[in-house]
Structure 1
Amino acid sequence: MQEVAHFEITLALKQAFKARGVTYKDVAERIGVSEQTIKRLFREKDCSLSRLNELCDAINISVYDLLDISRQHNEAATKLTDQQEEFLRDNPSHFSFLFFLTAQYSLETIKSRYELSEVTTFRYLRDLDKQGFIELSANNQFRLLIEGRILMQLDGPLGEVVRQRNHFFLEYVCDHDGETGSTFSSSFRLMSTDTLNALHTDFAKLDKKYRKASYQDASLLPKEKLHPVKWVSMVAPFEICGQWPLDKNIE
């Protein structure tokens, strides 16, 4: 308990309640306390180990699993070899196929959405196996050798692929702005260096917050209740005058 901040535990516990579809009142009745007691626990973000055990038992989750979710909120990440990056750069469809696998799309989903034959699916898997991304066995069964997200640098072999995919995403968000779950926001302002640094800090905190929340969601919720979501944040000193196009030869 000392290794994990109480607020981290109560946050994970709150997510577990949501995943199990139970309310504070439901849990209070199961362990024989008032609903206000449960609400106070979450409000004060503190509880004893014995109480934590009771709450976990009430929603059928191991206290060890809960503590693990509280601690292990940082995403695992894999750095590819130069050879692997070069292969994905030269074979962008293989890059997509691998990315789908790391995002936990099933083979059946990939095959269905892209109308892939069994032979084509096997060839993708075979090639990824040769490059050390997966371990392929009979009947297109495989084991991913990549843990978590793939680390990709803009100045590395995959830099151009990353740029292209993010340009595609930017256009998609612009086209779907205002639809459920999609938001595009762009601003140009004059600001001090201190304000710019504060903006970078806020973006970093927000990104970390939702990476952590998504890890907990994926750990606690069934996959059918999860939505694939992508986000991009971009901030930079940018002189629009001189960078944006301007016709020098108007009549």
Structure 2
Amino acid sequence: MSTTQDLVAALKTELKAAGITYAELAVQLGMSESSIKRVFAKGDMPLSRIDEVLRVLKMDFAELARLIADAQPPSRELTLDQERAVVADRRLLLLAICCLSQWTYEQMVGTYSFTEAECVAYLVALDRLGIIELRPLNRYRLKVAKGFRWRPNGPVMQYFRTQVVGDYYSGGFDAEGEMLMLVHGQISPSQASGFVDRLQRVGSDFAQQHLADQKLPSAQRRAYTLVVGMRSWLFAAFRDLRRDPDAD
């Protein structure tokens, strides 16, 4: 769908929500009802006409553009160029993770050593990268889907493999609310896909609980990181002991 078609579709939605019929709109614009219907049916309208319809709706172009942006399907992953830009600056990566966790601007500057100006500058950078839409008063809207993930073999995951994994697994996993479990077995690929679906739901549940607990005082919350993984794999230390090294 073209940009003009997006604008016309959004206008149709707003006219319906406002209870304004094509006949009523035609009167206010000094046009025939048939002409109005034809313009909306074609989905092609000059900007001057769009402005006239917006005046009838008592809206401005910025509001219409925001409605269109909100209606766009969010991204499930970033492009390689977007990830490269994020991982090139660890402070930008940190704030990207904060945004994906839906931290407020106040939480970001209150938790990490960013000045207010620095934090805003990084939020602007994330806006330009298309990860968030920065709004007044340093509020933002995420432009990624709930099921968003970093590219499996992309720059960000490579950064975590080299810089983060060792630090994460060096812990004892023995404190309250912690665990580390390794389970090995042989199951059918279809059953493996079923387990992946269930593990994805666990991740979604964790993310939803994070959002729900944002209303609690900070003293009642503690940072946790859930790492979920599943792959067909054999320990490197044991691979040479297999009778058939080429077997799956």
Give TM-score scaled by structure 2 length. 0.51
Query: Of 124, 127, 143, which aligns to 2:125?
Result: 127
Q: 1:196–1:82: structure 2 CA closer, same or farther, 3 Å change rule?
A: same
Match of 1:143 among 141, 144, 157: 141
1:121, 1:130 → 2: CA distance?
14
The within-5 A match list for 1:30-69 is none
Q: Which runs of 5+ in 1 are unaligned?
A: 1-75, 244-251
Q: Does 1:240 align with 2:237?
A: yes
> Where does residue 99 of structure 1 map in the other structure?
97
Q: Cα gap change, 1:166/1:195 in structure 2, threshold over 3 Å: closer, same or farther? A: farther
The residue matched to 2:144 in structure 1 has which SS? coil
Q: CA deviation at 1:91?
A: 2.1
The CA deviation string for residues 102-160 of structure 1, in whole angstroms up to 9 with x for no partner, is: 11112211211113211111111121122222223444333322232533223233331
Residues 154, 162 of structure 1: 8 Å contact kept: no
Query: What residue is the counterpart of 1:108 in the other structure?
Result: 106
Tell me the equivalent position of 1:156: 154
Higher RCO by CA contacts (8 Å cutoff, separation 6 or greater): 1
3-state SS of the aligned residue for 1:97?
Answer: helix
Q: Does 1:223 align with 2:214?
A: yes
User: 1:203, 1:233 within 8 Å by CA — same for their partners in 2?
Assistant: no
Partner Cα distance (2:91, 2:191) in 1? 36
Residues 169/107 of structure 1: CA separation in 2 closer, same or farther (3 Å cut): farther
Find the aligned partners of 1:116 and 1:212 in 2 and give their Cα distance: 29
Distance, in Å, in 2 between the alignment partners of 1:128 and 1:165 is 22
* Cα distance, 1:117–1:216 mapped onto 2, change above 3 Å: closer
- For 1:165 and 1:150, locate their aligned partners in 2 and report how far apart those are by CA, in whole Å: 21
Sequence identity percentage: 17
The corresponding residue for 1:204 is 196
- Unaligned regions of 5+ residues in structure 2, if any? 1-73, 241-248
| Selected match of 1:182 from 178, 190, 207 | 178
In 2, Cα distance between equivalents of 1:183 and 1:215: 18
Cα distance change of structure 1 residues 123 and 208 upon mapping to structure 2, 3 Å threshold:
closer
- Report which of the two structures shows the higher radius of gyration computed on alpha carbons: 2
The SS at the match of 1:129 is helix
Aligned residue in 2 for 1:167: 165
CA distance in 2, matches of 1:114, 1:196: 46
Secondary structure of the residue aligned to 2:229 is coil
Does structure 1 retain, via aligned residues, the 8 Å contact 2:82–2:129?
Answer: yes
2:100 and 2:134 mapped to 1: Cα distance?
15
Change (3 A) 1:84 1:165: same
Q: Look up the match of 1:21.
A: none
The answer (yes or no) to whether the contact 2:76–2:149 under 8 Å persists in 1 is: yes
Aligned length: 161
**1: CA distance, partners of 2:239 / 2:94:** 36
Partner SS, residue 78 of structure 1 = coil
- Structure 2 distance, partners of 1:175, 1:155, is 25
Local SS of the residue matching 2:141: strand
